């Protein structure tokens, strides 16, 4: 007797078509991956799905059996590759489980084989596979393979002292890093883990400084406010200085230098902060003011205290904090032109985006130079000016390091030398200023570098405060081809020694993730540093250093990326990322740039960036925010693409012109076709180090993708660009994550205690202080966004304060 099959419904035909299409995609993509030397799984899975699709069209029950076997095999393969790591497990099985559940639906299942009763062994096996997959997913949510779980002892956490005992003030924030030690520490202790949940918004101030026509893509407000007396001082992307009442957020004055924006090469438009000098804090300076000639005495008396404002068009203003007017005794009418000696092309290419270092007698200025614009660019000279008169006292030119006497009129500094775009730190007792240097542009082509450039690239350089002479230097990358300039402000801390003594240390965080802990008197490592062999084989004409220095205290990735570390929302985009990974050159860390395209991990954003570190000097612990994102660096021969002079400005991503070099470079994050990172999360953490043992105590993923990928509003652990603040109350604050929140953490164990919503990206370092008028502790942070980080641009300075008992 012949069995007549019922006509196949349209829904089942569409199901078969979708399965065939998925199978074809996996087969072709998987076959290509095998050719590249990758996993066979996708090819075999694709062939299996093609067979399932054909069998569904043929109404063969074997389709369900085969799909059930494919699903079970996929579950086994997934556990083999990633164990029970949720974020790696989910994209490997999500489509498989969804399709398996769909095939179990009676409206589909009973037509595959034309059975009167669809509940058979095939459906049972498929149901077991779906249930096992769901159970695997649920169990994986309870597993965490990336965190370090630990906590500081009660004895350690009780080791707080008052601001008077430690030399800090809970009422003020006098420097970018909180104090001259750049530790982002406050002795304020009114906000504690027990009451931080009661924080409420106190006020929100709007600067009114928004992007303007002709601005570069990377317009950011990364400002860390200063708190002096009863006032706050901030700056904006267009270099506008503003004073506010610290209790109410009311604007007191603003100074707009009306920067020259007619510069076609601007790469950035930002201001990270201002600097403050108080002559009355130094007895010698007070005596000098008293003995000055009468005309100058009147001017100095008005500006006994002064705020220093660096501008994007390369000038430096000294302002009276009382009214915001320029201090006329400084430079020319209160201003110094930083373009002097830098070449006719300095505007827009040389940008002092970070606050200068201020000491008793000096204001010391560095600056950023446009990345990857031209081999002939302004140099990275460091200049020290008299803090009162603006007269040039010394200049340290990395291309001519021994000639520190002030540059003669009409002369020029050496072109194309390593620059220092981040924030420096000074130790006035030792008479040293510590300069973190970057690279000579272009970053990925090093043939034209001089011996001086090679010496001072990616180095922490200690200069004599009196003369500008080099006292010592410590290089963190040899012959840098990876844009691994030193991004973080170095932090000064006196570490508890084994005999109960104090060792004067300096901690320098790097893009690779190393934390170099050095004796700041000599530059000698306190934590061991070793030289490790690294991949070789630069492009023709260039070379790579045979070894690179690494610190025993490091957040650099412990393992190189593997194909199994590739990620995506589904098996399809994960497959594409695997193919991209196999096509790139990658031999681990320090893989040289190549025409093939090289995977750079950690990438240009770095494990640490200008966010820097926070250190509790009393409890002897450090708080940091390591990031993990890979970049792709691909060299392109100049004769393949014509890049005109007007594109000299370069940028953070895309094709970089590298004028004058035989290669341009294409830079960008390692992303999937749907805009997600190709490497598996987490991509961002918070962590703490015990400075007595130099070991991490805890480390937890940080932040969600709520404002970046709303369809995955889960705690992925996202990158942060903006530094932490740590307090005597045992609470740390951070706002730099991709999602728009100010967060509070328990320093003891890293637990997130509270978060407050921000109106835009918070890519800045917050501050905290206790009001002298009200006795209440404030937390204040900028929500200005970041152009190249992809967060929403804003103009809000937001303050939080503890809710009063009466308000509850």
Using an 8 Å Cβ cutoff, are 395 and 336 in contact?
no
Reduced to 3 states (helix: H, G, I; strand: E, B; else coil), residue 129 is helix
Q: In angstroms, what CA-CA distances link 543 with 204, 538, 662?
A: 52, 5, 15
Q: Which residues contact 284 (CB under 8 A, 6 or more apart)?
A: 360
Confirm whether 483 is a catalytic residue.
yes
Distance CA 384, CA 112 (A): 81
Question: For residue 67, what is the enclosing H or E element?
Answer: helix 62-82
Point out the catalytic residue in the list 85, 247, 329, 483. Answer: 483
Specify the length of the chain in residues.
808
Segments in the chain below pLDDT 70:
1-6, 114-118, 159-167, 283-300, 642-651, 709-712, 805-808
- The answer to whether residue 426 sits within a structural domain is no
- The answer to whether residue 610 sits within a structural domain is no
Of 674, 652, 655, 791, give the one whose Cα is nearest residue 735.
791
Letter string b/e over residues 466-491, b meaning 16 or more CB atoms within 10 A of that residue's CB: eebebbbbbbbbbbbbbbbbbbbbbb
pLDDT of residue 339: 95
Of 762, 786, 572, 599, give the one whose Cα is nearest residue 676.
572
Structural domain tally of the chain?
A: 1
DSSP label of 683: -
pLDDT of residue 283: 62
- The answer to whether residue 535 sits within a structural domain is no
Of 725, 724, 634, give the one whose Cα is nearest residue 684.
724
Of 787, 803, 784, 780, give the one whose Cα is nearest residue 795.
784
Both tokens of residue 442?
């272009």
pLDDT digits (tens, 9 = 90+) for 287-301: 444 444 444 455 557
Residue 498 Rama label (left phi>0; alpha psi -120 to 50; beta) = alpha
- The answer to whether residue 83 sits within a structural domain is yes
Burial class (CB in 10 A: 0-12, 13-18, 19+), 25: middle
pLDDT of residue 714: 83
Residue at token pair 């430690």: 166
Q: What is the CA radius of gyration of the chain?
A: 29
Using an 8 Å Cβ cutoff, are 609 and 488 in contact?
yes
3-state secondary structure 527-593: CCEEEEECCCCCCCCCCCCCEEEEECCECCCCCCCCHHHECCCCHHHHHHHHHHHHHCECCCCCCCC
- The answer to whether residue 718 sits within a structural domain is no
- The answer to whether residue 99 sits within a structural domain is yes
Domain residues for the domain of 47 are 10-140
- The answer to whether residue 116 sits within a structural domain is yes
- The answer to whether residue 131 sits within a structural domain is yes
pLDDT of residue 501: 85
């Amino acid at each position: 007797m012949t069995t007549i099959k019922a006509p196949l419904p349209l829904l089942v035909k569409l199901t078969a078509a979708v399965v065939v299409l998925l199978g074809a995609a996996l087969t072709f993509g998987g076959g290509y991956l095998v050719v590249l030397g990758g996993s066979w799984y996708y090819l075999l899975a694709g062939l299996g799905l093609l067979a399932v699709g054909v069998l569904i069209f043929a109404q063969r029950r074997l389709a369900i059996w085969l799909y059930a076997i494919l699903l079970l095999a996929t579950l086994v393969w997934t556990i083999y590759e990633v164990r029970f790591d949720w974020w790696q497990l989910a994209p490997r099985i999500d489509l498989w489980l969804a399709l398996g559940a769909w095939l179990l639906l009676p409206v589909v299942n009973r037509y595959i084989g034309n059975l009167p009763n669809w509940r058979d062994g095939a459906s049972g096996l498929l149901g077991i596979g779906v249930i096992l997959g769901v159970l695997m997913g649920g169990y994986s949510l309870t597993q965490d393979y990336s965190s370090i779980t630990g906590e500081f002892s009660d004895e350690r956490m009780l080791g707080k002292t008052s601001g008077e005992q430690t030399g800090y003030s809970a009422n003020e924030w006098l420097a970018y890093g909180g104090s001259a030690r750049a530790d982002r520490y406050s002795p304020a202790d009114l906000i504690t883990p027990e009451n931080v949940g009661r924080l409420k918004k106190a006020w929100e101030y709007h600067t009114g400084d928004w992007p303007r026509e002709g601005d570069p893509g990377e317009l950011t407000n990364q400002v860390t406010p200063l708190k002096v007396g009863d006032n706050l001082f901030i700056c904006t992307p267009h270099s506008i200085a503003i004073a506010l009442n610290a209790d109410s957020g009311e604007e007191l004055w603003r100074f707009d230098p009306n920067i020259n924006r007619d510069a076609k090469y601007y790469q950035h438009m930002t201001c990270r902060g201002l600097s403050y000098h108080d002559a009355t804090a130094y007895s010698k300076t007070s005596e000098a003011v008293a003995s000055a000639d009468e005309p100058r005495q009147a001017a100095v008396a008005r500006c006994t205290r002064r705020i220093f404002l660096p501008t994007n068009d390369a000038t430096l203003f000294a302002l009276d904090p009382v009214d915001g007017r320029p201090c006329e005794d400084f430079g020319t009418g209160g201003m110094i032109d930083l373009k002097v000696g830098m070449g006719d092309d300095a505007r827009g290419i040389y940008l002092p985006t970070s606050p200068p270092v201020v000491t008793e007698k000096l204001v010391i200025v560095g600056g950023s130079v446009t990345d990857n614009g031209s081999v002939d660019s302004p140099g990275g000279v460091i200049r020290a000016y008299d803090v009162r008169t603006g007269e040039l006292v010394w200049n340290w030119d990395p291309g001519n390091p021994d000639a520190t006497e002030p540059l003669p009129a009409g002369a020029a500094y050496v072109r194309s030398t390593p620059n220092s775009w981040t924030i420096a730190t000074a130790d006035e007792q030792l008479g040293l200023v510590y300069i973190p240097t970057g690279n000579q542009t272009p970053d990925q082509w090093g043939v034209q570098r001089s011996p001086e450039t090679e010496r001072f690239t990616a180095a922490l350089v200690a200069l004599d405060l009196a003369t500008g002479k080099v006292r010592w230097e410590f290089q963190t990358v040899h012959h840098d081809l990876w844009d691994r300039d030193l991004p973080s402000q170095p932090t000064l801390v006196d570490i508890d020694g084994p005999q109960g003594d104090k060792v004067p240390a300096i901690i320098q965080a790097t893009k690779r993730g190393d934390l170099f802990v050095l004796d700041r008197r000599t530059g000698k490592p306190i934590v061991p540093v070793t030289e490790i062999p690294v991949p070789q084989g630069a492009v023709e004409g260039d070379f790579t250093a045979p070894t690179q220095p690494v610190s025993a205290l490091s957040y650099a990735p412990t393992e190189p990326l593997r194909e199994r570390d590739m990620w995506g929302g589904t098996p399809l985009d994960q497959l594409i990322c695997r193919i991209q990974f196999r096509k790139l050159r990658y031999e681990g860390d320090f893989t040289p740039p190549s025409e093939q395209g090289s995977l750079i991990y950690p990438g240009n954003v770095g494990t640490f960036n200008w966010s820097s570190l926070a250190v509790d000097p009393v409890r002897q612990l450090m708080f940091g925010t390591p990031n993990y994102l890979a970049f792709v660096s691909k060299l392109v021969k100049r004769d393949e693409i014509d890049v005109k002079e007007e594109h000299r400005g370069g940028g953070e991503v895309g094709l970089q012109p590298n004028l004058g070099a035989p290669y341009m470079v294409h830079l960008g994050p390692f992303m999937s076709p749907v805009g997600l990172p190709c490497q598996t999360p987490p991509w961002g953490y918070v962590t703490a180090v015990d400075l007595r043992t130099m070991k991490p105590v805890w480390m937890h993923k940080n932040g969600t993708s709520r404002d970046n990928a709303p369809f995955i509003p889960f705690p992925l652990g996202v990158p942060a660009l903006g530094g932490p603040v740590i307090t005597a109350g045992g609470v740390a604050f951070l706002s730099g994550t991709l999602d728009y929140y100010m967060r509070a953490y328990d320093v003891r164990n890293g637990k997130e205690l509270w978060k407050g919503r921000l109106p835009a990206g918070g890519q800045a370092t917050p501050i905290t202080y206790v009001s002298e008028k009200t006795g209440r502790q404030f937390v204040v942070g900028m929500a200005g966004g970041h152009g190249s980080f992809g967060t929403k641009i804003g103009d809000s300075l937001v303050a939080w304060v503890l809710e009063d008992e009466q308000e509850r």
